[in-house]
Structure 1
Amino acid sequence: MLVEVNGARLYVDVENPGLVPDGAGMREKPVLLLLHGGPGFDHTGFKPAFSALTDVAQVVYYDHRGNGRSSGSDPASWNLDQWGEDVKALCDALGVVRPIVCGLSFGGYVAQAYATRYPDHPGGLILMSTAAKVSYPAIFEAFRRRGGPEAEAVARSYWTHPTAESRARYFEHCLPLYRFPAVPNAAFGRAILKTEVALHFNGPDHEQGRLDYRDALSRISCPTLVMAGEEDPIMPIAFGEELMRCLPPHLVRFERIARCGHVLHADAPERVFSTLRDFIAG
């Protein structure tokens, strides 16, 4: 379905009922709102894996404005302030109260934009394979470790000066390294790709290079789960460790996952979904 949010129509998909029979009464499940990676991808990378959580949450997927099946073709609106505002406005439009907001990769940036602006709104925050501040040299070094000099060179070419051509080479040589061990990810093939949104956002000269939530994260006031893979080349483990240190220590739980790349739920599904289920239920 399409939901009108801040002048854009966001594509939203909802999995399973939120209100279920429980003995003589009814029980309301928490809403797990999933924020996909990218930008320039869509929500389909979460499917079907996150169906595993429908026993403990009503799972809500959506495509960020300008991405996937959502509208929003004005590049002036392709920024974290707007994407973060859309999270709050989407919850208001759907009548969602105290959501558990889960951001993966770029979706983690959006989750931080939202939660640092509206710290009293989420009931919980999950930040997977993401960063409060990006270090490109750390990314290039991580790709060298995972894929050798060629992978490092291709990653450096794309992230330093993003173009459609360098992005195509990056997809061919570097995207398989997002998994551990390296393997093509079928979910990327199912996604609707919006290269123009990625080129607008990615790189040191664009918003990705300027974003810095390290100070603002001290405003977070809900339980927060940070998950990071030790073999992640695009969001190296040090990014997750730094993010964790910026959050209020009494609210944060950090999960460092060995032998795991960027796509945590694909590389270590048992541990990841057990951890997520525990956090949601808690």
Structure 2
Amino acid sequence: MQATINGTEIFFDIDGEGFRPGAGRLIEKPVLVVIHGGLGFDHGYLKPGLSGLRDEAQLLYVDLRGQGRSGRPPLETCTLEQMADDVAALCAYLGLHHVHVFGHSAGGFVAMHMALRHPALVKGLVLCSSSPTVQPIMDDTDEPAPSLASRANPETLAVAARLFGGDISAESVEAFFRHVGPYYAAPAHMDVPPVLTALSIASVDMMRHFMTAVAPSYDLRPRLDQIDTRTLVLVGKHDWVCPPRASRAIARGIPGALLVEFEDAGHFPFSETPGMFIRVMSQYFSG
């Protein structure tokens, strides 16, 4: 489905009914707005892991501007702030006044901007495998941060260095997800990422824009204490992309935030350890 929002087309998909029968009446389910990461991907990779939540909530998946099945406006309009405003405007278009927002990875960057810019709309925030900044984060634990270098062979590290060094092309992105992609998961779940990423449309232009124009200035650490909504922070112990210390920084910064660490997961806990993920989210919705 498409909606014209803020001068571009925004694709969205809905999973699950808005009302369920119970005790002789219809009970309205909460709405969970699902924001993908990347940036440069789309909502597709999230569906296998999050579809199990449809009994708890109505899921509203969104492809952010410039990505997936959404429109391709000028890249300079593709800021985190504008993407947050787009999602808020889509909610208004659909008549949604209070929503929960699930942001994965860089989707969490957008979700946190939503909570800051549209506090009356965001009833709850779930930040999964995300970070308040792309700058190095230190904390007071002795636990070393997970790293790709500790697991991957020299060939894989060279492929990663090429992309992270600024060579962002269709060929380098394809090589990255073929060689490096499996390492996004914990060692026991390296078969998961290729299955998930195959479900999304990669936008190389957006990946380049994100890595060169958006990410370098992204740092919400000074503003985390301004987020005044119920917040759940989820992270996999083996995540080297957005490591546990990044989630700990979010949880320390947002008043009252709850942190849950998945011992056997990497960057995709919703699909690597789906049973635990569904249990944690069910507790969130019942709390």
Same fold (TM over 0.5): yes
- Counterpart position of 1:68: 68
The answer to whether the 8 A contact 1:143-1:155 is kept is no
Which of 224, 228, 233 matches 1:221?
Answer: 228
Of 143, 146, 161, the residue aligned with 2:148 is: 143
User: Under a length normalisation based on structure 2, what TM-score does the superposition of the two structures give?
Assistant: 0.90
In structure 1, what is the Cα distance between the partners aligned to 2:184 and 2:114? 26
Q: Which residue of 2 aligns with 1:12?
A: 12
Alignment of 1:191-270 (within 5 A): 191-202=200-211, 205-248=212-255, 251-270=256-275
Amino acid corresponding to residue 155 of structure 1 in structure 2: A
Q: How far is 1:162 from its partner? A: 4.0
Specify whether residues 189 and 135 from structure 1 end up closer, same or farther in structure 2 by C-alpha distance, changes over 3 A only: same
The Cα of 1:135 is off from its aligned counterpart by 3.1
Secondary structure at the residue paired with 2:186? coil
Partner of 1:178 in structure 2?
Answer: 184
Measure how far apart 1:136 and its partner are.
6.1
For residue 134 of structure 1, give the secondary structure of its aligned residue in structure 2: coil
Task: State how far apart, in whole Å, the 2-side matches of 1:227 and 1:192 are.
Answer: 25
1:232 partner amino acid: D
Aligned pairs, how many? 277
Contact residue 132 and residue 220 of structure 2 kept, 8 A: yes
Distance between the aligned counterparts of 1:84 and 1:162, measured in 2?
A: 28
- Structure 2: give runs of 5+ residues left out of the alignment: 139-144
The percentage of counterpart residues that share the same residue type is 32
Give the TM-score, by structure 1 length: 0.92
Return the alpha-carbon distance in structure 2 between the equivalents of residues 155 and 234 of structure 1. 12
- The equivalent of 1:189 in structure 2 is 198
Identify the match of residue 159 of structure 1 among 154, 164, 169: 164
Q: Secondary structure at the match of 2:247?
A: helix
Q: Does 1:82 align with 2:89?
A: no
The answer for the alignment partner of 1:278 in structure 2 is 283
Give the drift of 1:210.
1.3
Deviates more, 1:28-37 or 1:186-195: 186-195
Equivalent position of 2:141 in the other structure: none
Query: RMSD over aligned Cα, in angstroms?
Result: 1.9
SS of the equivalent of 1:116 reads helix
